[in-house]
Structure 1
């Protein structure tokens, strides 16, 4: 393992290209990048972030790159073609990385896009790819699989469930995630409200949570970026009497304060969530999570201890789980994340990953990756 006492690494973090950091468009990738920057900085590594223009990532240095934003990968279908807009910010970010790569020990790619994987063989500096989603398109599967085979150990994922959506699952390294738990206040006494957090888009399955609110009469508070307005309006038309309120997109400090007051968080995704950052954020506040037994959340939630896992797309199961919330000890929820999902635990896994990548690079003849 590389430790700060052994070597201070210089690391370039190259952000998602679908939106500026701080906008919420990048979903959980934004929080993940921030937390990785924080734990690496605490360990005395030197980091710099490359991101689309208008990005803000706390107090960390950000090189803002102009250009047209990349399309999001969700919902495009298995046969989706690879496309770049004119003056692509993705291409511009990686051109910048090419020019400065000799200043860094490792580059970390956060973009679920074809171009960074394709460029990997052309970069002398090693690239660690942190893949944020499961299998979505044939083209992405192919290029990630090629890099997994050609450059062993370079593909990181957040959960084993996510990895298993790929045919090359055994070549993926599970990194998980980690959080600054000092930012999340434990709330022992909730209000009689439920919460839902995420991008408001079809793959997130918000309509199921709204259906639960209508059936139980328990108010549902919704937080997240309103990505697809027509989808939101359809839900409102479908459930006109549901006791729901849209609370907007909130930064961590405000979100954890509001989320902590909920009796439970509902997670109702239609797709395989790679991890589920909001599960950890919820548990850190002492809020149990009721989620479909699908994707990363199913690896995090301890059924019957820190929440309930329900068969996918089964609204009646969600309602039944809500009736059993009194069986969950909110202190146990907080204890789980303190044990498994701290920044310290994440930092250990990252240092081991980078250390092994650099050790492997030194074995390559001629010192070339």
Structure 2
């Protein structure tokens, strides 16, 4: 029988881990913390100020270090946000490298910052890092800095694991999961839905163009991450058929997605995973999207149809066929492939191996 573990869960410091979530990374971290706690593990979440008080949150010291006037005038001085984040992770890892690290059976890093990897050799507990993105120069440098990087790596998809393979030979794939008790199978409806951060790389304007070509109304939902992009490329497309529902909490978003005929997923880059895909499948809402990144891993022939990248016309042509897919089969795909239980099983098994 597995024993209860003390887990330090390191989050991204950029946004609080609370609803409505700033993005998929924050939603993933929140869900993982709750799932592990529900299994009897003691989880301390190191996260930005303002995170969900229902979690055992230790606030990352996200504040500006006291810099001299000479340092501030240095032409190479990064912006304030970069310095605040750097300072927060530096203090955290120094603490974990001292007595703080002895309190945990495992430290699980879900941030995108290089310091939890670079400073892992100083931590007595095993350190796990989940690779949520394609390779970045900062993380590649941190991995290569020691003669032997002691970090155990996981990846959110086969696609992401393959992208990192030249440097990380054996990342265990543990896909992000969604709570299928919250994201319930809906009855569908007449409208299409698009959800996610409203930024250029997510391509909501392409979803709006495809929906209009196919003659279907579309509901957009999510935080506006780039106001200039929203005003220039999205707002001009809004009318009585293409509407913006706002930045919704999970329950409201689940109702919106569950009431849609299909979900449009239009990445303009190679998505490392795509949590919105898993959320749609859990609602029984079939996915019509661009075949980029990990989407082809999550969606199978019973749960969605994929068009060539950036081909709005091809996407529009697939919409009607997508809406006719069996919603029960779509839901079954989520239960078997990308549930919260499956994700928690994967991480718990890994933690137990390392703690042993």
Give the TM interval when normalised to the shorter protein: 0.7 to 0.9
Q: Which residue of 2 aligns with 1:28?
A: 24
Q: Which residue of 1 aligns with 2:43?
A: 47
Task: Show CA shifts across 1:140-168 (max 9, x none).
Answer: 2332466795226x111110101222223
* Number of equivalenced pairs: 339
CA distance in structure 1 between the partners assigned to 2:295 and 2:331 by the alignment: 16
Q: Which residue of 1 aligns with 2:55?
A: 60
The Cα shift of 1:36 comes to 1.5
CA distance in structure 2 between the partners assigned to 1:148 and 1:176 by the alignment: 29
Task: Show CA shifts across 1:8-42 (max 9, x none).
Answer: 11101111111111265651111211222222222
Q: Which residue of 2 aligns with 1:211?
A: 209
Task: Report the aligned-residue RMSD.
Answer: 2.5
Which residue, 331, 342, 346 being the options, matches 1:345? 342
Q: Which residue of 2 aligns with 1:310?
A: 307
CA contact (8 A) 1:10 1:105 kept: yes
Structure 2 residue ranges without an equivalent (≥5):
65-76
CA contact (8 A) 2:46 2:57 kept: yes
Q: Which residue of 2 aligns with 1:85?
A: 83
Dislocated runs of 4+, deviation >6 Å: none
| 1:109 and 2:109 are equivalent in the alignment | yes
Structure 1 residue ranges without an equivalent (≥5):
70-80, 360-369
Further displaced range: 290-299 or 164-173:
164-173
Q: Which residue of 2 aligns with 1:322?
A: 319
Task: Show CA shifts across 1:169-213 (max 9, x none).
Answer: 53211011222211122112x221111111111111222112113
CA contact (8 A) 1:176 1:346 kept: yes
C-alpha change, 1:245 and 1:68, in structure 2 (3 Å) is: farther
CA distance in structure 1 between the partners assigned to 2:297 and 2:214 by the alignment: 27
CA distance in structure 2 between the partners assigned to 1:48 and 1:170 by the alignment: 29
TM-score (norm 1): 0.84
CA contact (8 A) 1:222 1:245 kept: yes
The Cα shift of 1:340 comes to 2.2
TM-score (norm 2): 0.87
CA contact (8 A) 1:117 1:147 kept: no
Q: Which residue of 1 aligns with 2:272?
A: 274
Q: Which residue of 1 aligns with 2:293?
A: 295
SS in 1 for 2:232: helix
